[in-house]
A and B are shown apart, each in its own frame.
Chain A
Amino acid sequence: MFELSGLVQWIYKIIAGISTSLGLPEIILDVILIALMAGAIIAFLMLMALFLIWWERKVAAHIQDRLGPMMTGWHGWAQTIADALKLLQKEDIVVANADRKVHYWAPVVAFSICFAVYAVIPFGKGLIAADVNIGILYILAITTFTTISLLMAGWGSNNKYALLGGMRSASQIISYEVPLTLSILGVVLMAGTLSMGKFVELQGPYFWKWYIWPQFLGFCIYVVASTAELNRTPFDIPEAEQELVAGFNIEYSGMKFAMFFLAEFLNMFTVGAVTTTLFLGGWNPPFPALAFVPSWAWFLGKSLFIVFVIMWFKWTYPRLRVDHLLGFAWKVLLPLAFLNLILTAVGVTIF
């Protein structure tokens, strides 16, 4: 009833009609459509980032029996907007002897990467910007760029703490990339495809057909490893406050800091969205009878639930030590991921 795909079709028809009546070449129509899609996704994601920051503060507060932001609007809903406006006004400080270009581009890289991922995320029925046939591979490739942005921030800041944070994040993300990819491989083996749209179609509107059940181990490994990829507690050693002050973003101020901050929260939503698509049936309802709820609402609900779980982790667990963290990746997660992969391969061959 409230499906957005109809709206998208309608907009497409209007723009296509205008461009054919004007006799524009097809490439201009494509460029306009891509710009529109990118604009819509970026607008949605900015709102989502603002919402997630507010939500994180609320979850943290209520777990600690506090109330969190309460002064700006109903339960402080406008707090993030107020904070963003404050950060916009702040002076942009660049440290002496900093590597200026690297320092300048690091937040831009971090910020743009998290938008690039959403090109292949199916937000709902017919709501996928580009259903490329290697969607999940593209996501894995793009999200690894986060390491480079954090290393850039650490290197360009001319600060030993920032550099340590950047190095730690590089070692951590590269280690956890391995079990993460292996856990996704299980799903890929079962589905026999790499396309994000296909994953959703194959799982269908029956919750017992979703890949979380045969791939429960893979699901757990994916959530844990992606929590580490996000540099969030209990794996937040790149920004361990007690050791590294603030980690890689210590020398950033104003809007550059805000870009890192927003990117972190957007990456969190990315993890939620990818987990939903791979393991939780994407935009499908759990029963065909529940299809009256629009597909994008199912997608949002599932993704936000995964995001909530990651927030819940953050406010429950203490931080791991560096060697424990890497030991956990190589000694526990990697064997489990291999086990999961082998079991899935055997299962796929037999059935």
Chain B
Amino acid sequence: MGYFRSFFSGIYNLLLGLQTTAKYLPERAVTLQYPKEKWPMPERSRGVVVLLSDPETGELNCTACLLCQKACPVAAITITQAKDPAANKRYPKTFEIDNTICCFCGLCEEACNFDAIKLTGKYEFATFDKKSLIYDKEKLQELGRDVKYERKRKAPPKKPVAKTETGAENPAKDNPPKGEEKL
């Protein structure tokens, strides 16, 4: 009897398998047709690094403070400082990110105090030429044009605030002690 029982239970289980696959046959595919359709990337996804610009003036937010360069664990960022004497403001003369060694850790974004550098959801930057993966300032600015971001830091006030108020309340901010400056 065991022979027949195993025979019929075998047939039953085979039919069960066919039923399972038949159930999946008319279902909608879960895959995406990649180049045509894309997943929406999460807001904090860590893809290509871009430089952000002021949406009103179109100028870079970067002040060439070199904090990101120092924060970068793989030394992928190279900045040359320059000073604009007319605006009395520093700006990056060159700003290069080497994507061949960038590890997309996001430390540069955390280090930045001026909302100038950000990791975006962009990920399609494969090329045939390794050298073209070193992005210069113009390329980074171009990539960051359409990136929406929330300003952590308000634009600095145009006129200096009356010194009596700030100086009285927080003298350490205006005149930091010399020992701290070296740090």
Contact = CB atoms under 8 A, between A and B. Distances in A.
Interface residues of A, number: 15
A67 B32 CA distance: 9
Contacts of B27: 62, 65
B30 interface: yes
A316 B31 contact: no
Contacts of B28: 65
A66 interface: yes
A104 to B, nearest CB: 39
Contacts of A315: 21
B29 to A, nearest CB: 5
Interface residues of B, number: 16
A13 to B, nearest CB: 47
Interface in A324-351: 332
B86 interface: no
A63 B25 contact: yes
Nearest to A331: B3
B14 to A, nearest CB: 7
A261 interface: no
B8 interface: no
Interface string B1-43: 0000001000000100110111011111111010000000000
Contacts of B31: 65-67
Given A317-B14, A332-B7, A312 B21 contact: yes
A70 interface: yes
Contacts, number: 36
A63 B29 contact: no
B83 to A, nearest CB: 54
B21 A65 contact: no
Contacts of B30: 65-66
A321 to B, nearest CB: 15
B20 A70 contact: no
Contact of B24 (A63, A313, A317, A332): A63
Contacts of B17: 316-317
A61 to B, nearest CB: 7
Interface of B: 7, 14, 17-18, 20-22, 24-31, 33
Interface of A: 59, 61-67, 70, 312-313, 315-317, 332
26 contacts: A61-B29, A62-B24, A62-B25, A62-B26, A62-B27, A63-B21, A63-B24, A63-B25, A64-B24, A65-B27, A65-B29, A65-B30, A65-B31, A66-B29, A66-B30, A66-B31, A67-B29, A70-B33, A312-B21, A312-B22, A313-B18, A315-B21, A316-B18, A316-B20, A317-B17, A332-B7
* Top-9 shortest CB links A-B: A316-B21, A67-B29, A65-B30, A316-B17, A63-B21, A66-B31, A62-B25, A66-B29, A65-B29
